[in-house]
A and B are shown apart, each in its own frame.
Chain A
């Protein structure tokens, strides 16, 4: 059964770069799109972007200038880089799997990792 696990620092200083990795186990990595979604405290879900095993990406326009999502197919991992962070980037960050060929939905999620932006 597929599992996703986020990892990375829980504390990032303002103006620095947030870096997270999502490790995917037990799945056909190349069949799906893979996405990052975040949720600020008490707020709704915000899509950050997605990546395909080929490296194709798509980003939320509101974050596009600061975000990069990379893939390492040899490790079944994909990662998130968000630069120039501010306190507004404090959130729980989730990675998830996208089923895209018949409809479009996220059927498996990681547990989430909390990232706090603070000096």
Chain B
């Protein structure tokens, strides 16, 4: 099975910041990579699929990039509602998560 490694595991940032989260696959996955946001007590919510396609209804401050083994989720202009945990996913594998907290 392909392993997904996210970094950092924890990120402290301020409202308005630009943040980037990385997901590295143990072998090439083309662009079969999705990103989810999860808030405490809630189900994950799809943000991006196909590495860079924004899911309908997701704010444009979120963007995804990458192909092969290295992927990035970027949030430009962090908002209070963006403080959450983010996961990458390829087929049946999930990354370990990145928790974004308020500095």
Residues of A at the B interface (CB closer than 8 Å) are 44-47, 58, 60, 94, 96, 99, 102-107, 109-112
Please name all residues of chain B whose beta carbon is closer than 8 Å to the beta carbon of A102 when the two chains form the complex. 50
Complexed CA–CA distance, A106 and B89 (Å): 9
Interface size on B, residues (CB 8 A): 22
Contact of B95 among A44, A104, A111 (CB under 8 A): A44
Given pairs A44-B87, A58-B92, 7 additional interface contacts (CB within 8 A):
A44-B96, A46-B94, A103-B34, A104-B32, A105-B46, A107-B46, A107-B55
Instruction: Tell me how far the C-beta of A111 lies from the nearest C-beta in chain B, rounded to whole angstroms.
Output: 6
Interface of chain B, main secondary structure: loop
B50 CB to nearest chain A CB (Å):
5
Number of inter-chain CB pairs below 8 Å? 51
Query: Which residue from chain B places its CB closest to the CB of A48 in the assembled complex?
Result: B92
Are B94 and A44 touching (Cβ within 8 A)?
Answer: yes
13 intermolecular pairs with C-beta atoms under 8 Å apart: A44-B95, A44-B96, A94-B43, A96-B43, A99-B49, A102-B50, A103-B49, A104-B32, A106-B36, A106-B44, A111-B42, A111-B43, A112-B43
Q: Please tell me if the beta carbons of B94 and A45 are within 8 angstroms of each other in the complex.
A: yes
With CB as the reference atom, state the residue of chain B lying closest to A109: B43
Interface residues of B in 80-103 (CB under 8 A from A): 87, 89-97
Q: Residue-by-residue, is B20-61 near A (CB-CB < 8 Å gives 1, otherwise 0)?
A: 000000000001101010000011111001100001000000
